[in-house]
Amino acid sequence: MTTVEHAAGATGASERVGLNRQSVSGLVFGLLGVALIAGVAPAISGADRRFNFEPPPDPAGIGFHAPTWVTAIGVLLVLTAVLGFAPPAARRWASPARLLSAVALVPLVLVLSLALSDNPSTNIVNLFNESLVLATPLALGAMTGLWCERSGIINIGIEGTMLAGAGIGYMTYATIGDAQSTGWLWFSILISVLAGGLVAALLAVLSIRFGVNQIVGGVVINLFALGLTGFLRSQVIVKTGITTGVGTSEFGLPLLSQIPVIGDQLFRGKPIYWMMYLVVIGTWVVMFRTPWGLRVRSCGENPHAAETLGVNVVRIRYQSVILGGLIAGLAGAWFSMESQARFEDNITNAAGFIALAALIFGKWTPWGAFGGALLFGFSRALGTRLQLLGVEVSGFEIPSEFLQALPFVVTLVVVAGAVGRSIPPAAAGQPFHRSR
C-alpha cells in the first residue's frame, strides 16, 4: 500500500471516529428527549410550581408549569440529536445545540425536583449562591494545580496540602487563641497558608531536587498529611477541649449588597470566599499578562527551550509549586476556620481530587477551572437542596447517600467526557535536568 493510501486510510478512520462520537452523543440526547416528551412529562404533576428569587415572606419569583418545561427541553434535546445526524451544511449548528442542551439540563433537574416533591417553590438565587460558596475550596485547589502543572509539576497532593493547612491552622487557633479571638483567627489563617506552602515545598524538593515520580510524590504528601493531621487532632486539639470555635464573619460588598432582590444574597459572604475571586483573577492576570507568567508557562511546555532563553527553570518550578501550596493552604483554612470553625479527620473530603477534575475540565485555564469548580459546587448544593425538598420517585424518596455521592458522580462523568479533549502542558510530569 502506498503512502498516499495509508494517509487516506488514516484520514477516513479519523473521520469515522469523529462521526461515531457525534452520532453517539446525538443518540443519547435524542433518547433522553424522547423519554422526557413521551414518558416523563405526562407522568409528573401538572400543578404549578415557582422559582423564587428572594427569601419569604413575600418573595419575587416566576411560576411555571412543569410538564410544559419538561416537554420544551425534550424537544430541544431531540432537535440536538437531529442536528447530529444532519448533512454537513447544517451540522455546524450541532455543537452550539449540544452546548445549549447541556446547559438546559440544569433547569431540567430543578423543574423535575420541584415536580417530584411536595414543595411548591424553591429559591434559585440562594441555590446559586450556595454553589459559589461550596466552589470556594475547589476553585482555590484548581488554581493550585494550575500553577504547578503549568510549570511542569503534576500535583496529586492538593488534597493533602489542603488538609495540612486546615489541621495546622485550627490547631494554632485552638491552642493560642482558644478558637475565640478574631486577632488569633487571622493569625491562624496565615499559619494555614504558610503550612500549605511548606508542604508544597516538600513536594517540590521530592519532584525537582530528587526526581521522584511526581504521582508517587503527591500520594506521599496525601498520606503524610492524613497521618499528621490525625495525630494533631487526637493528641493536641481534642486534649485542649476546644473542638469548635468562632469562624470568620460575613459581610456585604458596599453598594452591590444593596441591589434589590439579589444583592443581599449574592454579594454577602465571608473573607476567604471573597479572596477566592482575587486568587482566580490574580492567577489569570499574572500567568497570562506578565513576563513571569510567560516563563512559568514556557517551563511547562518546553523547559529546555526556556533554559536556552535564560529562564531558570528549576527556580521557576520551585516558585510555582510553593505559590500553589500557599493557595491550597488558604483553601484548607476555609474548611476549618470559615465553613465549619472546627477540625475533623479528613475534613477536606476529597475536595483536592475534585479540584483536579475541575482543572482538567477547564483545560488548564483559570476561568475554565473556575467554571469546573462552580459545576461541582452546584452539584453539592443541588444534592443538599434535593434532600431538603424531599424528592420522591414513584413514592420512593431518593436516599441521602445517593445525593451525597452526586458530586463524585459528576466528577466521573466530567473527567470521562473531558480528558480526551483536554491537552495538558507538554512537559507536565517530566523531570528536568540542567544542560549545564
Contact 64, 50 (CB under 8 A): yes
Lowest mean pLDDT of 92-96, 160-164, 183-187, 348-352, name the range: 92-96
Burial class (CB in 10 A: 0-12, 13-18, 19+), 212: middle
Mean pLDDT of 160-182: 94
- Segments of 345-425 assigned E as strands: 392-393, 396-397
Joined together, the cell numbers standing for residue 364 give 488548564
Q: What is the full DSSP assignment across 291-319?
A: HHHHHHHHHHH-HHHHHHTT--HHHHHHH
Residue 270: which residues within 8 A CB-CB, separation 6 or more?
Answer: 247, 248, 249, 250, 251, 338
pTM: 0.89
Lowest mean pLDDT of 7-11, 166-170, 240-244, 354-358, name the range: 7-11
* pLDDT for 22: 63
* pLDDT for 10: 44
* pLDDT for 394: 66
* pLDDT for 383: 85
262-283 confidence digits (pLDDT tens): 888 999 999 999 999 999 999 9
Q: Is a pLDDT exceeding 80 seen at residue 436?
A: no
Using the 8-state DSSP alphabet, how is residue 236 labeled?
I
**Half-sphere CA count of 166, side-chain side, radius 13 A:** 31
Residue 136: which residues within 8 A CB-CB, separation 6 or more?
Answer: 272, 273, 276, 331, 334, 377
Contact 301, 426 (CB under 8 A): yes
Mean pLDDT of 171-193: 94
Q: CA 185 to CA 134: how far, in whole Å? A: 21
Residue of higher predicted confidence among 260 and 136: 136
Residue of higher predicted confidence among 222 and 29: 222
* pLDDT for 301: 95
Percent of the chain whose pLDDT exceeds 90: 57
Percent of the chain whose pLDDT exceeds 70: 90
Beta-bridge partners for 400: none
Contact 143, 327 (CB under 8 A): yes
* pLDDT for 421: 62
Mean pLDDT of 19-41: 79
Residue of higher predicted confidence among 407 and 135: 135
Mean model confidence pLDDT for the chain: 87
* pLDDT for 1: 46
Q: Is a pLDDT exceeding 90 seen at residue 307?
A: yes
Q: Is a pLDDT exceeding 80 seen at residue 168?
A: yes
Q: Is a pLDDT exceeding 50 seen at residue 18?
A: no
